[in-house]
Structure 1
């Protein structure tokens, strides 16, 4: 197909060699047993996994039929990945799985902000108090030994994995595509749980390491569709930026992005689109990858009242939490504008009223595009449609190639692209 395979590993191996045996990741069990059967080789299977301590909790929430179907598909297997889109309700589904497995559980997340989110929801859906759901992360370690939520980075320090991970009978990995990272892979290798559940909306990694997800968490057992209540009127509105980009031949893509961020006319065009959407009563999310670009867009929106919310990596955790609380306190139908960097809201950020995304800086990888668009796909009573306003830069061939990739990504998610002549 002549597609580039640069920087993609040809072979990905997670096996470990020992003097008398070879160790394979848990997710390879089905394939290994199948290979033995095909070659007429008998297998003596000795199960030394940790079954965990009994956990007496009941699920007190309610599940949609598609969530019940997902649980029914996952329960027969000890390990596996549930692939479900944003807004499916992976947390409530996981809570029901915890109750049905009935053993002590460790939930692993990759960001501190998700720690409290999971704690609050598990307490609500399982009808238990704070003493039952412990946390490890954010500089504190208060595990309960029954249901615990841990930030992955807090479980591994300088290559040493906390032995506490060996004590659970059930491990749930939120956003399990992060398991491809070396430090997170090491944590999964150390766990001995009988049951492992991976949760993700994007079971792919840009670095090509996604097979590790399935080696450590098991294969995809169920792929869920978008829930019936999620918005189904999905539209992309391209806006052409035709300015010529004159840069040296050897300029890298970051130089191109810097040029876009410093283009005042382009920034003002973005601000005009945001202002129009706000005037229409929409709830707008503006995403870029550069903090200085956020500042420029914020300045160009100087006359907007109320002022936009601005979320970026220079803010402390406490400042970010206060901003999100203020955002959530707005009346559901009130228009709003949130300016943010993609790294902060690409995953785990949950604000259901959002119905409009302004893509202020181009991306190309479909996983990033799915994460960004997923911020709009949460169910909300006032939401009937979602809209992505995509600024398409025609003045550089690399940016046009990125637009081609985004178009394929949008169509794969079910978006229709409004026609605009970009040539």
Structure 2
């Protein structure tokens, strides 16, 4: 049925799973119960006896007395008259409407045009390529399924990510997918030619003083001949340095896109240090600033959401670096990035894995992984063996857990005296083993509670999103100088964008399941070069939290192999 509707141009050839409120007729048998939704055939004798399914006189709206005789008297309308009526009603010729939707087979080369996105001409696409695009650029939105299964509202949440934009003349797709199209055409012996409409800008000379480590040199070699793609590099491996060296080697005006203020400040600091560009000459978009640097500009993604502002700068950069590009699946990121017509486009991330398994969006928009230094490889290369300590808690909930009680059970956890005492006891026993300790939770209230236990005995620093700008800068400087013993923070704040290289031990004090988050957290204590030591707390008596621990434990087992 759907294929017939496609051929009739009622639905798009690129729609993977079209849906309708209802189709009639959708049953061919009536049980006799209720009205049903059968449509009786015209001129059926029994139906006519009940005054159903008959032709009516358009002037009186009365049934014709002799249906067959009346029908036989109708004269055919000429093709010319029919086309004239169609054109007067719809203000277009039938051929134009049909041609814009029905895609014929073609024997000409398929033109793959690349600029800020990939453009394909509709009439050149054959059925194989259409099916390939439909199957690979429409994929399930896991967030939709999760909410649906939990009985939550799915209003305004797409069931599928549909990454194909249709126009009258063709289709538009994100440019990161172009290598997949090329490989498919080669595999299926489909003739094609690539038309590159990207433009290089005037070259820029960078005064780079970067000395690359061996694994960073390998990364640069892997991407030397690639114009766009993703670099996966664990925390502490220097992906910021890799990004700066890419900019220096490509010799194009560069835009660095970030999503957090601490990352914004970090990049500006590193640009000054390694590329020797004064701060006043570094472009800044964000924090109430909108200046374009001759060599490098750093932008907050939140400041690139206004189309009128993006249009002013869309063609001013030859290289774009998207830091923490695992956030690309966020709609604001995607919609901003596709507007820039840069020659080079690279994404940097410590882990491309996403909580809802929608990391495919990263590769569609930026390109495939060009270099991947996995966390496990980094540990092995440094001859570092992780020490993982699992502590069993006695936490329980006095009710059957349900998802809508999550905040209640969260408050029980962060205020549980016995559980918090176990954490504090472990910290006190191990505090002299390490120069510094990082304690991470997911709740700001928990940061304050744990600090109350520790601040009278040890030099502690608490840091989270509620700190003022001045306070945050002061604390980060104190952390860099190493003037502390224990830092207590939220994972949301400390998991990304904090570059401290003197942390040696990690306490994970609040449950979560996502492996990517765990990779980020462990990366915070790998910069010291010493074996990472991790303390984790298993709340086995609460099934939901225990399932989260088992997800984390899978990764711990990988590290210990």
| TM norm structure 2 | 0.68
SS of 1:198's equivalent?
A: strand
Give the aligned CA root-mean-square deviation in angstroms: 2.3
CA distance in 1, matches of 2:307, 2:405: 34
- 2:390 is aligned to 238
What is the DSSP-based 3-state SS (H/G/I as helix, E as strand, rest coil) of the residue aligned with 1:215? helix
Kept in 1, the 8 Å contact 2:379–2:385? The answer is no
Residue matched to 2:220: 71
Q: Does 1:390 align with 2:536?
A: yes
Listed one character per residue, the Cα deviations across residues 217-261 of structure 1 (whole Å, up to 9, x for unaligned) are 110011124277857121110111124332245463332222111
Superposed displacement of residue 278, structure 1:
2.0
Summarize the Cα distance change of 1:7–1:60 in structure 2 as closer, same or farther, 3 Å threshold.
same
Identify the match of residue 418 of structure 2 among 262, 265, 269: 265
Match of 1:7 in 2: 146
- Mean CA deviation greater in 318-327 or 29-38: 29-38
Q: Which has the higher contact order (CA 8 A, sep 6+)?
A: 1
Matched, 1:150 2:299: yes
* 1:69-108 mapped onto 2 (5 Å cutoff): 69-108=218-257
Structure 2: distance between partners of 1:197 and 1:55: 18
Gaps of at least 5 residues in structure 1 are 417-423
Residue aligning to 1:420: none
Q: How many residues align?
A: 405
Q: Deviations over 1:159-201 (max 9, x none)?
A: 9745313321110111101111001101111011111111111
Q: Which residue, 484, 489, 492 being the options, matches 1:343?
A: 492
Matched-pair contact (CA < 8 Å) for 1:180–1:209:
yes
Task: After TM superposition, give the deviation of residue 10 of structure 1 in Å.
Answer: 6.8
1:202 aligns to 2:343 (yes or no)? no
Identify which range, 183-192 or 136-145, moves more after superposition. Answer: 136-145
Q: Report the counterpart of residue 437 of structure 2 in structure 1.
A: 284
Q: What is the rounded CA distance, in whole Å, between the counterparts of 1:230 and 1:328 in structure 2?
A: 23
Post-superposition Cα deviations, 1:305-333, rounded to whole Å, max 9, x if no partner, equal 32x101122112221111111222236xx
Who is 1:419 aligned against?
A: none
2:171 counterpart residue number:
22
| Counterpart check, 1:256 vs 2:395 | no
Q: Structure 1 CA distance, aligned partners of 2:496 and 2:308?
A: 25
Q: Deviations over 1:325-362 (max 9, x none)?
A: 1222236xxx6100101110011111111111111111
SS at match of 1:385: coil
2:470 corresponds in structure 1 to: 318
In structure 2, C-alpha distance between the alignment counterparts of 1:234 and 1:328, rounded to whole Å:
24
| TM-score of the two chains, using structure 1 as the length reference | 0.89
What is the distance in 2 between the residues matched to 1:395 and 1:116?
43
- Please name the residue that 1:184 is paired with: 333
Range moving further from structure 2, 136-145 or 290-299: 136-145
